[in-house]
Structure 1
Amino acid sequence: MSVSGNEEEAADRRSLHERIAADLRDEIMSGDLEPGVSLPSTVRLKERFGASNATVQKALHLLKEERLVIGRAGASVTVRDHRQRTMRPASYMAPAASGEPYRWLTEASRSGARAHSALVEVAEAVPPTDVADALGLRRGEAAALRRQVLSIDGEPAELVASYYPLEIARETAITGQRRIPGGTPTLLASLGYPPRLSVDRVSARVATQEQYRLLGLPGDLPVLRTLRVVFSDHDRPIEATVMVKAGHLYEVQYEFSSGSA
């Protein structure tokens, strides 16, 4: 069944330049427009979308602010080389070997990127309700909190807020104002709580004010929020972490093998 132009406009209430940017963004993120490739000329984009020159330029401006393309008025606009990065959570779940950095830093560096973590807060705090439920805490009960900002090539990549039951974390390096060699998985294993199972819940959300500011987001784009719960022996939850990253710059890859019945 055909859909009339009026019905199409009613279904998508975004301005035309936002819709143009959305279509081009999808082609960039899916690889149809590869890194280093020039976008179609303004003339071709005007014809394709039935838009004015000013509208096309506004769409391209959005993509430039999102760090997906680079170029200037009157010149060709090209897809940036470091478009959407793939994050593989399973690769940095296990504890790091003695003397090695946190696995997130190691894995991010494998592609030649400069990875950095900055510890911004260590405190006792009441976690969000979903985190408290995951850790089996009572309403209003505090947990040990460690907040970090992870960066790649000097740009903020991920906000990380990790919570730990106080009976595990107190009087350990978890509550210290310093980074932990090898990361908390290594420390927890040394304390007798080896990570055995990690369960992720991933959702797309509109960024909060703090997330918008810390991630340097260019507009009203979604973020990927992951709630990761780590279990040790006897299914005991030992860590619950909320990770937030820009949805238009990062994707999350999980690998599964088919099991026998």
Structure 2
Amino acid sequence: MTVPTHDTEGADPRPLHARIAADLREEIMNGDLAVGGNLPSTAQLKTRFDASNATIQKALQLLKAEGLAVGRAGAAVTVRKNRQRAVHPERSLTPAPAGAAYPWLAEMAEGRPAARSTLLSVAEVPVTGDVSAALRLPEGRSAVCRRQLISIDGEPAELVNSYYPVDIARGTALAEPRRISGGTPALLPELGHPFRRSVDRVSARIATQEQYAALRLPGDLPVLRTLRTVYGDGDRPIEVTVMVKAGHLYELCYEFTPGT
């Protein structure tokens, strides 16, 4: 499909190279351009988009900066392997066996050993907005927050902020700056707070300054933000987690069984 270069009512106002990158990005992400395969040649793209060589190169450079494509000048540009990952959110609620990696971390690593979780901080912090609402706490009331950065192959993949009511977390491993054996899906039931249900709210947003820097985002691409509330007995919120990942590199896969 040729992208129009003239201004018309309702036309995409972005520069042509950004529009070209957007179309190619979509084809990479939905599988029209296969992982490990070549992108169309510069000549093909020039014809398709009625664009100059310089404009095509700028578009390809955007995709390379985003980690979706690889290649060098004078060589074919290919779709980079192991970039877009399908994540199954329900697996992050599964406890890890003794000595094993967290199931959700192993899934993000796609079987490779180079995935890790770095604990950035553990502190009592005031909560506001949708986090305080999810915890059913007044604005400004404190909760214990555990902040983590997930990395794969040395590249930042996801920011995770998990919040716990003070009366649940204080004096437990939740409030200590160390890794929790088996993760919170194992610890919270031990503390008398079994998981009964979980609700995810997913939205696409433009990254904050903190998210942009921590995830090393290449431009104004959206992030996927998941606000997860885990409920215990009596439908009490026992954990609220905000997970932020690069929107162009991940998709969330939810599986539902009719009638359940």
Counterpart residue type for residue 38 of structure 2: S
Kindly provide the CA deviation profile for residues 41-90 of structure 1, in whole angstroms up to 9, marking residues without a partner as x. Answer: 11110000010111000000000000000011111101111121011011
Deviates more, 1:5-14 or 1:216-225: 5-14
Residue 128 of structure 1: aligned partner: 128
Distance 1:124 1:139 in 2: 14
* Equivalent residue letter for 1:228: R
Partner of 2:148, secondary structure, is strand
SS at match of 2:119: strand
What's the RMSD between the two structures over aligned residues? 1.6
Aligned residues of 1:68 and 1:79 also touching (Cα < 8 A): yes
Structure 1 residue 103: deviation in Å? 2.6
**Would you say the 8 A contact 1:100–1:181 is kept in 2?**
no
Change (3 A) 1:60 1:5: closer
CA distance in 1, matches of 2:43, 2:207: 34
Q: Greater shift after overlay, 110-119 or 54-63? A: 110-119
Residues 66 and 217 in structure 1, CA contact (< 8 A), matched pair in contact too: yes
Is 2:216 the counterpart of 1:216?
yes
Asked if structure 1 preserves the Cα contact closer than 8 Å seen for 2:46 and 2:52, the reply is: yes
Counterpart of 1:138, as a letter, is P
Residue 34 (str. 1) matches residue 34 (str. 2) = yes
Could you tell me how far apart the structure 1 residues matched to 2:249 and 2:68 are? 8
Report percent identity of matched pairs. 62
Q: Which residue of 2 aligns with 1:229?
A: 229
| 8 Å contact kept, 1:101–1:183 | no
Amino acid at match of 2:47: E
CA contact (8 A) 2:144 2:175 kept: yes
Q: Which amino acid aligns with 2:234?
A: H
Which amino acid is the alignment partner of residue 119 of structure 1? Answer: L
Which region of structure 1 is more displaced relative to structure 2, 181-190 or 237-246? 181-190
Aligned length: 257
Give structure 2 stretches of 5+ with no counterpart: none
> Residues 98-130 of structure 1, C-alpha deviation per residue, up to 9 Å, x if partnerless?
444333223334533521000001101012310
TM-score by length of 2: 0.94
Larger mean Cα displacement after TM superposition, 93-102 or 225-234: 93-102
1:153-192 matches, within 5 Å, as 153-192=153-192
Counterparts of 1:69-88 in structure 2, within 5 Å, are 69-88=69-88
**Unaligned 5+ residue runs, structure 1?**
none
Contact 1:96/1:102, CA 8 A, preserved across alignment: yes
Could you say what secondary structure the match of 2:217 adopts?
Answer: coil
